[in-house]
Structure 1
Amino acid sequence: DDSAADAARDSSLLTHEFVHALQDQHFDLLKLLLARPYNFDRSEAIFALVEGDAMNVQRRQESGETWARRSLEDIARQEEERFGEYRLQIGALFPPLLTETFIFRYRDGARFVEALRRARPARSADDLFRRPPQSSEQILHPEKYLASLQTPTGIADAPREIRINEEGFEAAGWRLTAATPLGEIGVRGLLMAGVASREATRASAGWGGDRACLFERPGRAPLFVWKTAWDRREDAQEFFRAYNALQRQGSTEAHGAFAPGGDSYMAWREAGVLTVVRLQGDGVLIVRGTEADIPAALQLAQQ
């Protein structure tokens, strides 16, 4: 009856929150989540560990003895179905980047914790907090986190460090107001603003590293510079196509140059703002600002 269902739901939620209380008691969640310097990608990975651990315990309690008999694929499929309806509800209120990263913490975090429990049955989930994942890529692909454990430093398959000539921009009169990697989940969320979920997932899966910077200058429109690196050239090409599909949604004019199998670029104009998307080897560079600022920004971004 309704009262039994309410009691089961309350018990499930209390279990989830009790896990959080234990996490905080043993590992100081604020210290974990508010680590500096701020890194969006690493922060989302930590959030996914925290919420994923609690969700995993919650689901185990709800499922009882049947949980151990379910495959990781079945668990992932059921979680996607659960959060599919939720995505529609909050997606009506928030942009895809916020919607997808929020769901990621629970859906993919729970799958990550379960995958690690099964891969290392003799180890507790506490070990994950002692050596937490460093990127959303490691959450989405638990085998990459497991590979990192094979080295003393834990940096196997770590995100590539991407540098942008921030000092050069500041010398040219621009002030850096925000800078962070967005990570695989951030790339996926951004792409979902203009391409289908499956395509966004595929186009972000070869992520190797990135850095996004926002610069401001008195009397000028903000300047957005985003440099990305990919595992293979083919991955960079796939992201290049997907990001241009996203730009096509709101732009009124475009031009570009393409070399089969080589470097390419596209430029998109929208209400006085120009976005240039440049494919170079296994990297894609994106610069967005007023047209007069783009040439110098491209030159600085490639130094």
Structure 2
Amino acid sequence: MSKNISRLLALSAVLAVLISSAFNNSRSVTLRAQQRPAISSHAAREAAIVTATTAVLEETSKIRELPILFPVKSGAQSRAEIENMLVKNLYEQMTTAEMHATEVAYRKFGLAPATFEYRPFIIKLLLEQIAGYYDPVTREFYLADWLELETQKPVMAHELTHALQDQHFNLRRFQKWPHGDSDAQLAAHSLIEGDATLAMMVYMAKNPLVALAFTRSLSTGVSTEQFNQAPRALRESLIFPYLQGSQWATAVYKRDGFTGLSKAFTTLPLSTEQILHPEKYFAYEKPLKMTLPDLSSLLNKAESSNEGSPVLLHSSLRTQYSALSTSDSSLPTASWRRIDSDVNGEWGYYLLLDQFLKSPAESRRAAAGWAGDRYDVYEGPEPGQAIIAQVSAWDAEADAREFFDAYVKRIELRYPNAKLLTDSQHPTSPTLKTWQTNEGQVVMELRGLRVTIVEGLSPQVDVNNLFKVLRS
């Protein structure tokens, strides 16, 4: 599930996990480079960064085969200045309502605990990781003033590649991505970061002593506490544009050189499927655009018919949600309402499956036949009430069957006390299953190439009617 991560990384330099994977085959290395004593003269530090920027930009321009159209302003920023920039960027890119919807989706999908609060966590996580950034709005590059300059030249090469991308392809157009397709957004972000990471790798290969100093600084770095505590889906989506993005960029480079990567800024990758399988990008296999009807009125009708009856919500969940501090946007609503609509994509479904299957090979196979999807998130009038409806399409019936079977396993692991219903009101077959769980009913249906899943339903909802609406 790639929800909204790419918006938050437009300016950050989360590189060390990638370097760690490339050089040490380990993900435990710090994301922020080793801290050094501050240089005594701020003016001297600024001058050194300006000089280094000119040199690294010239070399990166030759590597990336993109001429410098105009100089890049650069300088040092304090921790407080960078923190202010990150928080400002976060609030510019995501509204409070969007952050709340993401939080609800992570919880309901079982990707984060019921106590997970997205906004404070992502701020702390990003503050822990940043070393430097290029801002496509101001077209300026800044390096953290608490880091040793000589060890940060690979970071500079990466961020200055962004400056070159911006000069030639206008990165500002990616700042306001249309809502509703985080999968396509993550794919585009993987082009941007994968291209820059590949250029950085070439820079390091051409400057082995600089590369050695950089990797040594990472091995003696500081805290990764927030990164290690992050939900797996959040953590791996954070890395995706850099790791899988650089693998995709390498495939494009091997086929068409950096010219191919430059052309990709016109012919954007459209899905994480195209990133994970470059051959599908080369064939430009477009994902299906899927829609779901708004179920709010149907859910509210069932709710009103049940007035005076207790809402189905496990007591432990009610206690956990009630204990949370909430902003105005996350207070219980007067009725069921759709708060989000988005796309999981192949990468998102891999994360959803493997969170519980814990078998990467099986999860990759089950997600690999993806052709398109959409999911909607609904929030109810009671604390913690949420429903997710999703529909997906697959390349072949065998792919749909494989995904359906894998998701059945996921449901049974996601809800340990789930009871498969087999009475006359809940017919069960190899293509239709209904469970009662401590978070409501879960219904899955397989029809040809399509799989429809709804999680969190009240028993009062007419499932047959609901699925007729979903099929319409």
Q: Fold conserved (TM > 0.5)?
A: yes
How much does 1:198 deviate?
Answer: 1.9
How big is each residue's C-alpha offset from its partner over 1:143-163, in whole Å with a ceiling of 9 and x where there is no partner? Answer: 111112xxxxxxxx2111212
How big is each residue's C-alpha offset from its partner over 1:72-106, in whole Å with a ceiling of 9 and x where there is no partner? Answer: xxxxxxxxxxxxxxxx9877422232222222211
Specify the code of the residue in structure 2 equivalent to 1:214: V
How much does 1:116 deviate?
Answer: 1.0
Q: Which runs of 5+ in 1 are unaligned?
A: 67-87, 149-156
2:288, 2:373 within 8 Å by CA — same for their partners in 1? yes
Specify the code of the residue in structure 1 equivalent to 2:155: L
CA distance 1:198–1:183, change in 2 (3 Å): same
1:33, 1:43 within 8 Å by CA — same for their partners in 2? no
CA distance 1:142–1:35, change in 2 (3 Å): same
How much does 1:122 deviate?
Answer: 7.4
Give secondary structure in 1 for the equivalent of 2:455. Answer: strand
* Counterpart pick for 2:419 among 245, 254, 260: 254
Alignment of 1:199-218 (within 5 A): 199-218=362-381
* Counterpart pick for 1:47 among 189, 194, 206: 189
Q: Is 2:337 the counterpart of 1:175?
A: yes
How big is each residue's C-alpha offset from its partner over 1:14-71, in whole Å with a ceiling of 9 and x where there is no partner? Answer: 11111122223333324224221431111110111111011111111223499xxxxx
Q: Which residue of the partner structure matches residue 268 of structure 1?
A: 435
Give secondary structure in 1 for the equivalent of 2:291. Answer: coil
Q: Which residue of the partner structure matches residue 390 of structure 2?
A: 226
Q: Which residue of the partner structure matches residue 98 of structure 2?
A: none
1:97, 1:192 within 8 Å by CA — same for their partners in 2? no
1:287, 1:297 within 8 Å by CA — same for their partners in 2? no
Alignment of 1:227-242 (within 5 A): 227-242=391-406
CA distance 1:294–1:112, change in 2 (3 Å): farther
Give secondary structure in 1 for the equivalent of 2:253. Answer: helix
CA distance 1:23–1:114, change in 2 (3 Å): same
Give secondary structure in 2 for the equivalent of 1:132. Answer: coil
Q: Which residue of the partner structure matches residue 199 of structure 2?
A: 57
2-structure distance, mates of 1:89, 1:30: 32
How big is each residue's C-alpha offset from its partner over 1:107-165, in whole Å with a ceiling of 9 and x where there is no partner? Answer: 111111111112113725221112211111111111111112xxxxxxxx211121212
Q: Which residue of the partner structure matches residue 5 of structure 2?
A: none
1-structure distance, mates of 2:240, 2:462: 34
Identity %: 29
Q: Is 2:194 the counterpart of 1:23?
A: no
How much does 1:171 deviate?
Answer: 4.3
2-structure distance, mates of 1:244, 1:114: 36
For CA contacts below 8 A with separation 6 or more, give which structure has more relative contact order.
2
Give secondary structure in 2 for the equivalent of 1:165. Answer: coil
How big is each residue's C-alpha offset from its partner over 1:188-210, in whole Å with a ceiling of 9 and x where there is no partner? Answer: 11112101222211111110000
* Counterpart pick for 2:455 among 275, 283, 288: 288
Q: Which residue of the partner structure matches residue 241 of structure 2?
A: 105
* Counterpart pick for 1:137 among 230, 251, 273: 273
Specify the code of the residue in structure 2 equivalent to 1:199: E
Count of residues paired in the alignment: 265
Q: CA RMSD in A?
A: 2.7
Give secondary structure in 2 for the equivalent of 1:192. Answer: helix
How much does 1:242 deviate?
Answer: 1.4
How much does 1:223 deviate?
Answer: 2.2
Of 24-33 and 241-250, more deviation after overlay is shown by 24-33
With normalisation by structure 1, the TM-score equals 0.78
How much does 1:253 deviate?
Answer: 2.7
2:187, 2:275 within 8 Å by CA — same for their partners in 1? yes
Give secondary structure in 2 for the equivalent of 1:133. Answer: coil
2-structure distance, mates of 1:294, 1:41: 32
Q: Is 2:298 the counterpart of 1:298?
A: no
1:33, 1:47 within 8 Å by CA — same for their partners in 2? no
Specify the code of the residue in structure 2 equivalent to 1:45: A
1-structure distance, mates of 2:225, 2:369: 29
1:237, 1:279 within 8 Å by CA — same for their partners in 2? yes
* Counterpart pick for 1:244 among 384, 408, 413: 408
Q: Which residue of the partner structure matches residue 94 of structure 1?
A: 230
1-structure distance, mates of 2:462, 2:225: 38
Q: Is 2:278 the counterpart of 1:115?
A: no
- Structure possessing the higher radius of gyration over alpha carbons: 2
Give secondary structure in 1 for the equivalent of 2:203. Answer: helix
2:195, 2:249 within 8 Å by CA — same for their partners in 1? yes
1-structure distance, mates of 2:202, 2:226: 26
With normalisation by structure 2, the TM-score equals 0.52
Q: Which runs of 5+ in 2 are unaligned?
A: 1-33, 37-147, 209-223, 301-335, 423-427
2-structure distance, mates of 1:14, 1:62: 11
CA distance 1:165–1:207, change in 2 (3 Å): same
CA distance 1:7–1:91, change in 2 (3 Å): closer
CA distance 1:228–1:294, change in 2 (3 Å): farther
CA distance 1:31–1:192, change in 2 (3 Å): same
